[in-house]
Structure 1
Amino acid sequence: MNTTNLIATIALLACATGVFSHEKSPHHAPKAAPMKEQKEWGIAGDVKDVRRTIAIRMTDDMRFTPSAITVHEGETVRLRAQNKGKVLHEIVIGTQAELAQHAEMMKKFPAMEHDEPYMAHVRAGGQGDVVWHFNRPGSFDFACLIPGHYQAGMTGTITVLPRKP
């Protein structure tokens, strides 16, 4: 096991231990809003800033439609993932390297919970939203990381065009 996998495994075990011990606690604090963390591909957006919603179909042929999206730097977009299939799918935004690493972790821990603002788990027939502020130009990716889906080609690209001067 390499160092990265060992650290990820320890982190997951620590989180799981914390969750189980919290469930036994008689006092449950309200769930805090997730902290916004700057990522290479942007930062969680505020719904009030959304000016455009992009519907993305997910199907059991392991494809997204559309599979290529273009946005502008500074734009906050709602990605509305619509699962038109009969199995669970998800959409996760990231870099190709991070998505590949996460896909490998999903193979080892397929029931892993997802609650990051740049991902949405979507049950069959349902929909889920990712509200994202694209504050950095570049080419980024999105994928379904359910085991086997990423490997079957369930991926797409997001091109963030630079802000016009």
Structure 2
Amino acid sequence: MKNLLSILTAITFATTPVWVFAHGDGAHAADKAAPAKKEQKPWGIAGNTSLVKRTVTLSMGDNMRFSPDKLTFRQGETVRFVIKNQGNLLHELVIGTKPELDAHAAMMVKFPGMEHDEPYMAHVPASKSGELVWTFNRAGEFDFACLIAGHYQAGMVGKISVTASSR
């Protein structure tokens, strides 16, 4: 039985995406000196701070809400998000598509202690601030949320609209 459990555990780790084991209260941003990886996502790509033309301040709290919860950007815009956690709990900002956020939130419920750190997310301890820089190089309707187990389900979500650039 012990060998069977070891085999099943090994299969689970081998077939589960790396980001699944990536969340929690730990040192999420312990290595912020490392440059953000530049991976194109449907909602954009990690931005360069030298290209920031606009800063948006978002507040979040234990009422499980973001303020503001609706944002509009122009395609190609690089934005610095300053995220202020006004609550007593850890919260986060994760940008994505609704299907990706839904899937990630479901994994967070199954594995509430997982840790992750991607350029499109910021984990902000209670009463602290964080930031991220993102380039919205694709037009469309996107979402943002706090995916800590229970927070997403309580409605801690927002909408992002990126309008096409007129070239």
Same fold (TM over 0.5): yes
Q: Supply the distance in 2 between the matched residues of 1:125 and 1:14 (Cα, whole angstroms).
A: 27
C-alpha distance in structure 1 between counterparts of 2:58 and 2:19, whole Å: 33
Quote how far apart the aligned CAs of 1:34 are.
3.9
Paired AA for residue 78 in structure 2? T
Aligned twin of 1:75: 77
Q: Deviations over 1:64-88 (max 9, x none)?
A: 0000000100100011110000101
* Unaligned ranges ≥5, structure 2: 1-11, 23-32
- 5 Å matches for 1:8-23? 10-12=16-18
Decide whether the 8 Å contact of 1:64 with 1:154 is kept in 2.
Answer: yes
Report the counterpart of residue 134 of structure 1 in structure 2. Answer: 136
Q: Secondary structure at the match of 2:16?
A: helix
Distance 1:63 1:8 in 2: 36
The letter for the 1-side match of 2:49 is V
- 1:114 touches 1:120 (CA, 8 Å); kept in 2? no
Q: 1:92 Cα deviation (Å)?
A: 0.1
The aligned residue for residue 159 of structure 1 is 161
Q: Deviations over 1:13-53 (max 9, x none)?
A: 9979xxxxxxxxxxxxxx85342100000000011111111
- The residue aligned with 1:26 is none
Residue equivalent to 1:145 = 147
Output the CA distance in 1 between the equivalents of 2:20 and 2:60: 33
Partner Cα distance (1:151, 1:162) in 2: 31
How far the C-alpha of 1:11 sits from its partner, in A, is: 3.6
Which structure 1 segments of 5+ residues have no match? 1-5, 17-30
Relative distance call for 1:159 and 1:8 in structure 2 (3 A) is farther
Amino acid at match of 1:86: N
Which residue of structure 2 lines up, in the alignment, with residue 33 of structure 1? 35
- The answer for the alignment partner of 2:122 in structure 1 is 120
Q: Give the secondary-structure state (helix, strand or coil) at the position aligned to 1:120.
A: strand
Q: Distance in 1 between matches of 2:115 and 2:74?
A: 31
Q: How far apart are the structure 2 equivalents of 1:8 and 1:65? A: 39
TM-aligned CA distance change 1:8 to 1:88, over 3 Å: farther
Partner SS for 2:104: helix
Q: Once the two structures are superposed, what CA deviation does each residue of 1:81-106 show, in whole Å capped at 9, x if it has no partner?
A: 10000101000000000000000111
Is contact 1:114-1:121 (8 Å) kept?
no
> In the alignment, residue 10 of structure 1 is paired with which amino acid?
T
1:164 deviation in Å? 1.8
Shift of 1:133: 0.3
**Alpha-carbon distance, 1:62 to partner:** 0.4
| Count, aligned residues | 146
User: Kindly tell me: are residues 8 and 52 of structure 1, through their superposed partners in 2, closer, same or farther at Cα, counting changes over 3 Å?
Assistant: farther
